[in-house]
Structures are given as C-alpha cells and as structure tokens.
Chains A and B, each alone.
Chain A
Amino acid sequence: MSLCFLVEGDRTEKRLYRAWVGHVFPSLTQVLTIGEITSSSYCVISGGGIPLYKEELRDALSDIRQNAEVRHLFLCIDAEELSREDRRREMEDEIRKAEIESRVRTGNPWLAIHPIVQNCCVETWFLGHAKMMRRNPSSELLREFKGFYDVSERDPERMAAYRGFRTRAEFHLHYLKEMLREQNPMLSYTKKRPDAVLGADYLQALRHRCVATGHLASLQELFDTWESIAPRAAPA
C-alpha cells in the first residue's frame, strides 16, 4: 500500500498525518517526495500555509502520473468558513480539472483520490477528545467557552465562532489551547508544535467519539476511508 497526502497547512497537518499514519499503518515507511514512493511507503506534501492547493494538486498528480506505485492520494483541506458540502464540491471540481490537466490516468490508472474536508479545521477534530474537557474548569475563559458551547457534549463541527473571533477556525484553535492548558499546563498546543494531540491514545479517543456519538462526521469519513483501504490494519 502506498499513500500520498497533500495538505494545505504549514506544520500542523504535516505532523498530524505523519503521526496518524504511523499509528494506523505502522508498516509504511515515510519518504520525502512522490517520486520516492514505493509499494509500502507514504509521503506528506505541505503547501506551507499558502492557499494554493489547486496548483499543488495538479503538480502532485503530474508526479504521480510518473509513479504508478502511488495508489491513494488524500487531499486534506480545511472547510474554513464554507460548509463541508460546499468545500467538498469545490475539491471534487478541482480534482476533476487537475486529473485532466495532469493526464494522471495515462500513467497511473489505479490511483484513488480521496477528498478529505477538515471541518472546519484540524483543531475542530482535536476538540473531540471528551476527556480533555474538565467538568468544572478553573480558567474563566474556558468556563465562558464551555458555557457558550460544550464540545465534550455537543458536536465540535457544528460550533460557531464565539463573539470577538473573526472566524470559526480562529475560535476553535483558541478553545483547544484553553482546553488543553486547563487539563495540563504542560500540554501547550501551537500550530507549529501540536505534539500534545498526536499520540495514539488521543487518536483512539477521537475514534471512540466518532463511533459513540456520530460527531465529527468529516473525521469519521477519513477513518472510514482508511478502513476501506486496509481494514485489517486499522485499529478496531
């Protein structure tokens, strides 16, 4: 099995997918470029935080055309202020265009392309670890956030932006930082150092949340896809 992840974000998503692939598909080896992918390896290409996934997708598919070993391409993009459905439609359109422009099928007819919408961003997913939310937070700010929307009870994907925040993603990031800091002052989360949420236990807690509550549907879609391509390799 060989996987390629094309992510838009700077360091967070790159580190996230590397860590999760390590937990879910431990037999795969990480390589740095699409050209180096073999039948049991993966790579994560980042756009460096520049919202240009359309161009990068075309370029990545051009590389994949020349490497028939690549079987799955995951295009992982934040929904941001769009709905999950709208972002997904946009991504599917771009995938269709890029497939034609890159002529990827002429060299790699077996490639499966999976659009993954991070709704609204990866921090939204991380908010889904219910045990990370204290029953009675000591931080006033976290109490305020929890009062506005308790992510341990309600679906984080449906949470709007709190007053004073310009976007949902900005609020979700802030909420996550507060929630983790309250749990353990040493668990600081930054976009560049997201280590606090990359462990196998954290991933397992998110999987459990998806299954038990039906929340985080966009993350569930990623897990479902992984199960469909390697059912026995994925954790139960």
Chain B
Amino acid sequence: MKINTFTYLDRRTQWQLEETRFDQLNLLVGVSGVGKTKILQRLRRVCEIAGGSGEAPGAVEWAIDFDHEGQSYRWEAGTDVVKVGELREDATAEPGEEGESSDFVHERVVVNGEVLIDRQGDRFTFAGQPLPKLKKKDSAIALLENEKAVRPIRSAFRRVLFSIAPEVLLGLPFHAFRADEVARRVATYKALPKGAEGFTTFREKLTESGLTNLSEYVTLAVYYLQEAFPEEMRRLGDLFSEIFPSVVSLKVARSIARELSSTIALDLIIEEEGASVPISQSEMSSGMLRTLVHLIEISLSPPGAVIVVDEFENSLGINCMPELTRLMLSRPDCQFILTSHHPYVINNLPPTTWRLVTRKGSKVRVKDARDLPALQVASHQQAFIRLINLPEYEEGIS
C-alpha cells in the first residue's frame, strides 16, 4: 500500500487537515503543538475503522487516496453523532451502551476511477447494485470485507503499521499463547519456501494476522522468525549488534516458569559480552528495547507496508539513529511516515522528504519542502538549521 493523500475534518472541534500529499518517505516536521501527532492519530483511527477494529468518531469527514497491488483507491466517508439510548432505525445499539455513538452518513469507495461502494444515508449500492439496509455503525469496508473486490482494501489497511516503539518505554510485558496454535503456525511457516520469496510470504502473513502491529505479539513474531527463517533471525541479531556492539546474541527463549500446561510463554533475550546472565525483555534498557522494536518492525514489514512512527527519536541515543535511519532508507519498498524534532534525523533525511506542518487556528496544512523557496538556495548550512530558519517553520502556529 502507498498512501497518496489524506484529508480529515472534525466538525465538532473544527480541527481540519487540508489535503496532505505523501511520498514514499515522509518526515513531518514543525514546531511543537502544531499537530503532527494528531495527524498520525487521525490516520490511525481511519485505518482501524477500515480494518473493522475501531468505531468511527462522530461528526467527522475524511478522504484517503492510496495505491495497492497495482490498483488505485479513494475512500471518502462522513459520520454523525448518535445519542445511544435513542431508538435507532437499524436498532444496532447494543444493550447497555451509553453516551454517544456514531453512524456513517455517507461513504464512497472508488477503485481505478470507478465507484465500487456508494452509501448516502440509507441508500447503499455495491458495484452498482442496491443492497439492503446495513449497519450504519460500521464502515462498508468492514461490512463487505469478504467480497472479492473489497478484500484487497482491507488487506491494504492492515499493511499500515503504527510503530509500537513508543509503547514499550516501560518494558515489553510477557504474554502467554496457546501452545497448540503456536506449534501449528510454526509448522505452517516452516513449510514456506526458503529464500526471499518465502520470507516475503511469511512477512505478509504476519502482517495480515496483525502480529507486528501490537506490542503483545512482537516477541511471538520474532519467535516465528527464529523458528522458520533462522538466517533472517541472524541478520536481525547482526543489525542489533551493529548498534550495540556489546550484544553477542539475540534470541527468543521459552519462559517455562510462566507457562501453563496448554500455553507457551516467550522471552526476547540478549546476551552481552562479559555478562554472565542473559538480559530478558523485561530487563532491557528502554533505548535498547525501542531500537530493537524498530528493527523488528522494519525487518518484518512486507513490501508495500506503510510504517508510521511518531517522534522517531524518543529514547534513542545518537548511537542508534544512524543505523535505524540507514535501515529505513534501505527499504524503498515500504512507505514511511515519521515525525521528528531531532537534528540528526532531520539532517540525515533529504529535505525532499520533509513535510512542514503549519497550523492556523484549527486548520492544519502540510507543505511540501519542495515548495519552500528558501530551501532551494544552495548552502553549506546543516539542513536542520535551514529548516528552523524558515519563516514557515518559525511561524508554524498562527
């Protein structure tokens, strides 16, 4: 998947993101408070709605254009607030629900310029055919996910990976998994062809099952990698050792003490030079863990993934940034949407990747760095210095 444009409006707060264009590599920059994180949060919400895992917020509009597997798509939608408790026409309120909910009031999916889904109030057509009334609470993409023409759309949104690195600052918690299910999956993954093709299929399957998008599954995903693709696991360990030279091995081990008879518990551990005891995932420093999670996410993302990272530099030492930045640049088959304030990150990603975020009241505009004349003048000054001296940056909030 590649997201081309994204537009969003919250009618209640009037927060608005004007149509924003994305390239393969995008670094959202701008002064604090301008709304960079909010853009990512709204994008996440939209992706979750498409994946059927999130309820649409009330009174919002969005439009997203994207390409996936050679097709181009546009999804536009609008919702409205519904007071739960009021009797809905489609009676979809669950017993016990309180407060507010939201309904889709319009929705349209266009594939290669042709309308696939069109919903206006109660009127609903799919591929030109009218459909009976459907749940207003859910998106058409989630409702029709089993339709052949809709399946790739859902699959595209599953490829948008919102980095969990910010969540693991306090450690990676242990989780137990059903032992028979894990064994079955290990056997499936081991049966995949070896080499690049099999590894791509493996990564696609992991992504499709959501294993790389949730912190509770990270260790499990690396366990599958270790069992099914040991060469790739070694490569991951080598990448980690390049950043932390004291690390001699990285592996996932069973944590027997945490297991019940029917479950398996896993621990991501590292061995360090000169240390007699391996370091468990619960003991790893936050900088090491966050770096490792970034490496895992980038390594396990299949081609066509969109990797979204808020405040890329958080808890990363300057020793971690060069390798991680290089690793990102080595994946032109993935799209990256990052935010950062850090001079290293800004200096090392080409200015053509910068998207300068500005805000006037509640209206957010993202400017392409190529449209900023002052950046086109040749200079020996560091990119970061040139950025922060732009009037558009300086007056980011007005």
Q: Are A and B co-members of a single complex? A: yes
Q: Which residues of A contact B (CB under 8 A)?
A: 11, 14, 32-36, 45-48, 50, 55-56, 59-60, 62-63, 66, 102
Q: How far is the CA of A102 from the CA of B381 in the complex (A)?
A: 12
Given contacts A46-B389, A48-B384, A63-B379, 12 further A-B contacts (CB under 8 A): A14-B389, A14-B394, A32-B391, A33-B377, A33-B379, A33-B381, A34-B379, A35-B377, A35-B378, A48-B385, A56-B381, A59-B382
Let me know if B388 is at the binding interface, CB within 8 A: yes
Which residues of chain B from 380 to 398 have any CB-CB distance to chain A below 8 Å in the complex? 380-382, 384-386, 388-391, 394
| A64 and chain B: residue at smallest CB distance | B380
Q: Specify which of B374, B379, B388, B391 is in contact with A48 (CB 8 Å cutoff).
A: B388
Chain B residues whose CB sits within 8 angstroms of the CB of A36 once the complex forms? 377
Chain A residues whose CB sits within 8 angstroms of the CB of B390 once the complex forms? 32
User: Given contacts A32-B389, A45-B389, are A63 and B380 in contact (CB under 8 A)?
Assistant: yes
Q: How far is the CA of A190 from the CA of B384 in the complex (A)?
A: 24
Which residues of chain B from 357 to 393 have any CB-CB distance to chain A below 8 Å in the complex? 374, 377-382, 384-386, 388-391
Q: Specify which of A56, A62, A102 is in contact with B385 (CB 8 Å cutoff).
A: A56
Chain B residues whose CB sits within 8 angstroms of the CB of A34 once the complex forms? 379, 381
**CB pair B388 A46 closer than 8 Å:** yes
Interface of A is mostly: helix
Chain B residues whose CB sits within 8 angstroms of the CB of A56 once the complex forms? 381-382, 385
| B390 and chain A: residue at smallest CB distance | A32
Chain A residues whose CB sits within 8 angstroms of the CB of B245 once the complex forms? none
Q: Specify which of B378, B381, B394 is in contact with A11 (CB 8 Å cutoff).
A: B394
Let me know if B121 is at the binding interface, CB within 8 A: no
| B381 and chain A: residue at smallest CB distance | A59
**CB pair A62 B380 closer than 8 Å:** yes
User: Given contacts A32-B389, A32-B391, are A59 and B380 in contact (CB under 8 A)?
Assistant: yes
Q: How far is the CA of A14 from the CA of B393 in the complex (A)?
A: 13
Q: How far is the CA of A215 from the CA of B270 in the complex (A)?
A: 62
**CB pair A60 B381 closer than 8 Å:** yes
Nearest CB of chain A from residue B380's CB, rounded to whole Å: 4
Q: Which 3 A-B pairs have the closest CB atoms?
A: A62-B380, A48-B388, A35-B377
Interface residues on B, range: 10 to 19
| A58 and chain B: residue at smallest CB distance | B380
Q: How far is the CA of A55 from the CA of B343 in the complex (A)?
A: 13
| B378 and chain A: residue at smallest CB distance | A35
Q: How far is the CA of A14 from the CA of B390 in the complex (A)?
A: 12
Chain A residues whose CB sits within 8 angstroms of the CB of B379 once the complex forms? 33-35, 59, 63
**CB pair A50 B343 closer than 8 Å:** yes
Nearest CB of chain B from residue A198's CB, rounded to whole Å: 15
Chain A residues whose CB sits within 8 angstroms of the CB of B391 once the complex forms? 32
**CB pair B385 A47 closer than 8 Å:** yes
Nearest CB of chain A from residue B117's CB, rounded to whole Å: 47
Q: Which has the most chain A C-beta neighbours within 10 Å: B377, B378, B386?
A: B377
Chain B residues whose CB sits within 8 angstroms of the CB of A14 once the complex forms? 389, 394
Q: How far is the CA of A168 from the CA of B27 in the complex (A)?
A: 38
Nearest CB of chain A from residue B251's CB, rounded to whole Å: 40
Chain A residues whose CB sits within 8 angstroms of the CB of B343 once the complex forms? 50
Q: List 6 A-B contacts (CB under 8 A).
A: A11-B394, A32-B391, A45-B385, A46-B389, A48-B384, A59-B381
**CB pair B374 A33 closer than 8 Å:** yes
Q: How far is the CA of A34 from the CA of B379 in the complex (A)?
A: 8
Q: How far is the CA of A47 from the CA of B146 in the complex (A)?
A: 55
Please, what's the 1-or-0 string for B120-157, where 1 marks a CB less than 8 Å from any CB in chain A? Answer: 00000000000000000000000000000000000000
**CB pair A63 B385 closer than 8 Å:** no
Q: How far is the CA of A32 from the CA of B343 in the complex (A)?
A: 20
Q: How far is the CA of A34 from the CA of B385 in the complex (A)?
A: 12
Q: How far is the CA of A47 from the CA of B293 in the complex (A)?
A: 32
Chain A residues whose CB sits within 8 angstroms of the CB of B381 once the complex forms? 33-34, 45, 56, 59-60, 63
**CB pair B374 A32 closer than 8 Å:** yes
Chain B residues whose CB sits within 8 angstroms of the CB of A11 once the complex forms? 394
Q: How far is the CA of A60 from the CA of B391 in the complex (A)?
A: 18
User: Given contacts A11-B394, A32-B390, A50-B343, are A59 and B385 in contact (CB under 8 A)?
Assistant: yes
Q: How far is the CA of A63 from the CA of B390 in the complex (A)?
A: 17
| A10 and chain B: residue at smallest CB distance | B388
Q: Which has the most chain B C-beta neighbours within 10 Å: A33, A50, A56, A60?
A: A33
Nearest CB of chain A from residue B346's CB, rounded to whole Å: 10
Chain B residues whose CB sits within 8 angstroms of the CB of A46 once the complex forms? 385, 388-389
| A55 and chain B: residue at smallest CB distance | B382
| B382 and chain A: residue at smallest CB distance | A59
Chain B residues whose CB sits within 8 angstroms of the CB of A63 once the complex forms? 379-381
Chain A residues whose CB sits within 8 angstroms of the CB of B384 once the complex forms? 48
